Chains A and B, each alone.
Chain A
């Protein structure tokens, strides 16, 4: 146990820098809960010591979860953290989506940040409740609280073995003051953390009962779909909807910001009618935009203005024996979560209600407020939020399960559309995009172009390293993890109309690909073993450790089966270290078959072991799709891909064996949803380089070699 002093004011209202730059209020005490919540909870729950849990008289512990569940497991992992400190049996845990109240701060799930953001808070919240339950028992038995402990939803007196359940103690605990200090367990005392307790969301996902956004059904509900100008940024000029309106079940056609909406009795009729619309588009400024043109703009940008992200030594210092120059490029990638974009909304005189599969309930609320309210309700909402006087919610967001997110659902475009349509109707409407609209109107992983220059000294050791990145949108990069005496990373951001946004692992995907693939090129130039050279030049011992582990488990340096080759890469992102070793087999035609991927991961303390493994497996698949499958390309201002037949993702027969190995330690827990994506593409490229002697410098590999 380690004691931490609860600065009560701090615990009540801690502001912490979040990735969104907004103050995050971590917890509030019971009597600060908004009035409407309080009445609800008093009836149902005798004990709610803070905003994160309540314990019912039946002993059920309800944990409030702010994270959106998109498959990454947060809705089970966050309760595990709290349950560990509370000493509650896992079977007694239930979850409830946290309401959009100030106590929970800006609600958004992204950047593999859930565990890092919630770790301290949820431990303290659970420990606080445990201490109060122990105090309650001690009071009843007239014994010293330090002679009591909690285990398995019971408080037990050490000397006599007397015990009482949390259910029995809840009422009394609620009357006790919030403790000044809480004791947190040390990792060697953990019983739940690090195990593979079954996830709470799985049972509903095997029988069709799990409710995703697209499944929301309300009385008197209509269905809609939207059509966007095929040219990026274009708008509808003239709409002829006479044919569309002849389709049975069609209720109306509406022009909204950036789209034309068709409303019907069912989704199918809406989609059929959308096809029958005759729309004259104002294609705007981007009608000539093409991938070639973008490539040219990036290449030009890479020659000129740049921002230095990392620098040491002097690139021009003498000592280079051999040099190598290379260009890497990576196209736009779409997210294609299996659940297409959708949102359900109801706008009436009372305000606006939204049901959305969104990574950001707060973002959805802000969007609904902007597009879905009358002037009167807009100001009423502003005032009631400022005063936190929420007798009724003018805007309310119900966050459903997400059928995949990957960064796409941090955006709110589908929410904006649904509430605009709902404003026309005064009855609920479920908006669903077609897959074609989803692929052609995404916020893409940015197109990037990389200029790599490196040199080795007379001993074949790296002497200089220069990595320049030009990216559509906001270019970024991290530090070089290798101690190369003269090195520099700089970036150029290029303003192009194609929308870009976070995509699983964000910048790490593009800069790790160029960095880790070029590293093997430089190693080859100096006739060095890529593993040994990495181990020599890496400065972070945790990074070395995962790399060595992946290499060992993949039998690096040992004879492989005939025609098999290995490639390695290592990268740290979102606080977590991941090394991957990809084993490929070349067939007679020279086709690459990915046989096995070894993943070594150090994410600090493991919350749920099985979820960690699942995230590693899933990230490998995500990385393989990006490395082997289609790019998003543009011609005449239009995205050229339509659906899974021309934007394929990895399928079952292409799935390699994935073996994950975990480095165990007691470092603070870090992100797991994204960090295994970035090493995949370079490790695979390095395996192909090892097999063929020619470097793979362009993603996806199916596009053929770069010039």
Chain B
């Protein structure tokens, strides 16, 4: 058991957890931040994606203690009132079906657009990043369109 502090969505949380406990389970079971999802537990499906210092990471395989003191963002902290361009695009194009993977899709897409702020984002760039996040409902076509729409919105906002 270790005690440490995690900075999540701008707030500090005192955590007591096993050294190897992944961030995912600290978020979900200790802090009740259930927007980040468990899908595979081995870093293959991407339902658990969060940002650590702006980088998308699989929270299901990342020991929580390894990111103490770092800035962690979950879907709950991505924006106030779902105003992030990616979230607005997701609503505009009615992307989610069951919605379970969408926290992972949205967090991965938001990080991608942060790193590639062009509104001419190519399918190859989208694929290389979004291949990390699986969707059994099959929303991929809309996710692709959603990323392009969000890129445009971000350009217009800036």
- CA A271 to CA B39, docked complex, whole Å: 14
A89: which B residues are within 8 A, CB to CB?
Answer: none
Q: Chain B 93-125, CB within 8 Å of chain A: the 1/0 string?
A: 011111111110010000000000000000000
Please, which residues of chain B bring their CB within 8 A of the CB of A619?
138
In the assembled complex, the CB of A212 is this many whole angstroms from the nearest CB of chain B, namely 6
**With A198-B94, A206-B96, A266-B30 in contact, is A618–B143 under 8 Å at CB?**
no
Once the chains bind, are B38 and A214 in contact (CB under 8 Å)?
Answer: yes
Category for how many chain B residues contact A = 35 or more
Interface check B42, CB cutoff 8 A: yes
Tell which of B39, B94, B102, B140 touches A199, judged by Cβ atoms closer than 8 Å.
B94
Contact A71:B30 (CB < 8 A) given known A206-B102, A267-B25: no
Cβ contact within 8 Å between A621 and B138: yes
Contact at B18–A401, with CB atoms within 8 Å? no
Bitwise interface map of B from 23 to 56 toward A, beta carbon under 8 Å scored 1, else 0: 0110011101111111111101101000000000
Contact with B along A343-362 (1 / 0, CB 8 A): 00000000000000000000
Structural contact, B97 and A618, CB atoms closer than 8 A: yes
* A223 at the B interface (CB under 8 A): yes
Contacting pair B131 A653 (CB below 8 A): yes
Given contacts A208-B75, A208-B76, A643-B44, contact A266 B29 (CB under 8 A): yes
Neighbouring B residues of A199 by C-beta, 8 Å: 94
Task: Determine the residue in chain A with the shortest Cβ distance to B146.
Answer: A206
Contact A336:B131 (CB < 8 A) given known A202-B96, A206-B87, A266-B30: no
Chain B residues with CB below 8 A from A610, complex form: 94
Q: Determine if B42 and A71 form an interchain contact, defined as CB atoms under 8 angstroms apart.
A: no
Secondary structure type dominating chain B contacts? loop
List residues of chain B with CB under 8 Å of any chain A CB.
Answer: 1, 18, 21-22, 24-25, 28-30, 32-42, 44-45, 47, 74-76, 78-79, 82, 87, 90-91, 94-103, 106, 126-128, 130-131, 133-144
Q: Report the minimum CB–CB distance from A150 to chain B (whole Å).
A: 28
- The answer to whether the Cβ of A607 comes within 8 Å of any Cβ in the partner chain is no
Residue in A closest to B126 when the chains form the complex, CB atoms: A652
B25 CB to nearest A CB, Å: 4
Q: How far is the CB of B88 from chain A (nearest CB, A)?
A: 8
List of B residues within 8 angstroms of A401 by Cβ? 98-99
Residue of chain A at shortest CB distance from B88: A206
Knowing A206-B90, A435-B41, A617-B142 touch, does A652 contact B29 (C-beta < 8 A)? no
Q: List 23 A-B contacts (CB under 8 A).
A: A203-B82, A205-B90, A205-B96, A207-B78, A208-B103, A214-B37, A215-B28, A249-B18, A267-B29, A269-B21, A336-B136, A337-B136, A338-B47, A338-B100, A338-B101, A404-B100, A435-B39, A614-B139, A618-B139, A621-B137, A651-B134, A652-B130, A653-B127
Residues of B within 8 A of A339 (CB): 37, 39, 98, 100
At the interface, yes or no: A283 with Cβ under 8 Å from chain B? no
Whether a CB of chain B sits under 8 angstroms from the CB of A631 is no
B-contact bits for A393-408, CB 8 A (1 contact / 0 none): 0000000011111100
Expressed in whole angstroms, the Cα–Cα distance for A70 and B97 within the complex equals: 7
- Whether the Cβ atoms of B96 and A269 lie closer than 8 Å is no
**Residues of B close to A223: CB separation below 8 A:** 29
* Cα distance A204–B21 in the bound complex, in angstroms: 28
Cβ–Cβ contact B135 & A338, under 8 A: yes
* Distance between Cα atoms of A361 and B138 in the complex (Å): 25
Q: How far is the CA of A339 from the CA of B139 in the complex (A)?
A: 15
B124 to chain A, nearest CB (A): 8
How many Å from the CB of A312 to the closest CB on chain B?
37
CA separation between A460 and B130, bound complex, in Å? Answer: 48
Q: How far is the CB of B54 from chain A (nearest CB, A)?
A: 18
Interface 0/1 of A183-209, CB less than 8 Å to B = 000000000000010110111111111
| Contact indicator B99/A205 (Cβ below 8 Å) | yes
Interface residues of A in 541-572 (CB under 8 A from B): none
Chain B proximity mask over A207-226: 1 for CB below 8 Å, otherwise 0: 11111101101000001000
A621 to B103: give the CA distance in the assembly, Å.
Answer: 20
Is A650 positioned at the interface, with any CB of B under 8 Å from its CB? Answer: yes
A457-503 contacts to B, CB under 8 A, are: none
| Chain A positions 609-634 with a Cβ under 8 Å from a chain B Cβ | 610-611, 614, 617-622, 625
With a cutoff of 8 Å between Cβ atoms, the chain A residues found around residue B99 in the complex are 71, 201-202, 204-205, 210, 212, 401, 403
For residue A432, CB closer than 8 A to chain B, the reply is yes
**Contact between chains at B100 and A650 (CB < 8 Å):** no
Does the CB pair A268–B22 fall under 8 Å?
A: yes
* Chain B residue, CB-CB nearest to A223: B29
B40 and A644: CB pair below 8 A?
Answer: yes
- Give A52-91 as 1s and 0s: 1 = Cβ < 8 Å from B's Cβ atoms: 0000000000000000001111000000000000000000
Give the Cβ gap from A186 to chain B, nearest Cβ, in Å: 28
Complex Cα gap A20–B100 (Å) = 28
Q: Which B residues touch A530, using CB under 8 A?
A: none
Residue B140 contacts which of A201, A215, A621 (CB distance < 8 angstroms)?
A: A621
Do B102 and A617 touch across chains, with their CB atoms under 8 A apart? Answer: no
Q: Given A403-B37, A435-B41, A620-B138, does the pair A268, B131 have CB atoms closer than 8 Å?
A: no
Q: What is the CA–CA distance of A196 and B97 in the complex, to the nearest angstrom?
A: 14
A617 x B139 contact (CB < 8 A): yes
Task: Enumerate chain A residues within 8 angstroms of B136, measured Cβ to Cβ.
Answer: 336-338, 404, 406, 622, 625, 649
With A and B bound together, what is the CA distance between A340 and B101 in angstroms? 12
